[in-house]
Amino acid sequence: MHTTMKNVAINFRPDDTGSLELVREIVLFLREHNVNPLLPDYEILSAFPECKDCITDDQSFVNNPDLVIVIGGDGSFLRAARMFSRRGIPIFGINKGRLGFLTEFPQEEALAYIAKVIAGSFTFSQRGLLQATLIRDGKETECIIFLNDAVISKGSLSRPIVLHLEIDGHFLNSYSGDGLIISTATGSTAYSLSAGGPIVSPAIECVYSINPICPHMLAIRPMIVPIQSVLTATILSDFENLLLTIDGQEAIRIQRDDKIVFTRSPYSAKVITHPRHNYYEILREKLSWGKNLNA
């Protein structure tokens, strides 16, 4: 079989001992097809001698692969998407549990489809990314890319957080509530959906949503805006435990007068799609739509 990919990174959680046997199988499979496996420097891999010479440093692990294989759930996929976002390489997700929105391939089918992917036979969904830039005292202190969502929240405090919002330099609104979710189309079925936001097909890369969490005014509603729009949120509340959370995985402390600027990222994620599944099928299964109608 002719392969189009020379280096393949295998990404999984550093504490996921349950995936080690699958990692070993993939390593051996890739070698049989003259593809170089790349593994992160995890201590748990020491139990597999055949994996030791595949372990590489962080820089090589991120910069050298032509393909990323992610083992785990959608959370693992989100982490990998941020890690490899600047590379623009396709990501193949293996789900060890139920069918995932991002990790579409079940474990028992993984090797058969990996063979097709490394031969160049695959389709992918291009997912738009956003970035959140934290500005404090007029200086940029953080700039983080996200695939799902960014959330401004007040931690465990019972008091509402007060935000001032501008879009494309124009005043939009000021409101108090439990926080704010900025969601990509991909992330519309995550926290934003639980907070009453709309479902947006990931095929619509050109928009993102602004979704207030439990606002204290009934007139405040979620909005869909063009992805080119620049949203600036200024923190007006003056108490501790304010957080900016990225994809539910990275938390940054924020404070009064901080500005968080949300813009389109110049990068995108290439999510390899299962040829026998589609987004609406996965959506129907996840949300249990169309069941028990004949009961």
Angle at 145 between CA 44 and CA 191, to 5 degrees: 85
Query: Which amino acid does the sequence have at 290?
Result: G
- Residue 191 is given by DSSP the state H
- Whether the CA torsion 65, 70, 76, 81 is positive or negative: it is positive
Q: How many CB atoms lie within 10 A of CB 14?
A: 11
Query: What three-state secondary structure class fits 281?
Result: helix
Q: Which residues does the annotation mark as catalytic? A: 74
The partner residues of 145 in beta bridges, in order of sequence, read 131
d(CA 157, CA 18): 37
For the chain, what is the radius of gyration of the CA atoms?
21
Within 8 A by CB and 6+ apart from 4, the residues are: 66, 118, 119, 120
Give the helix ranges, DSSP H, for 90-233.
Answer: 110-118, 191-194
Query: Which amino acid does the sequence have at 227?
Result: I
Contact 182, 282 (CB under 8 A): no
The token duo for 274 is: 């299962």
d(CA 270, CA 91): 6
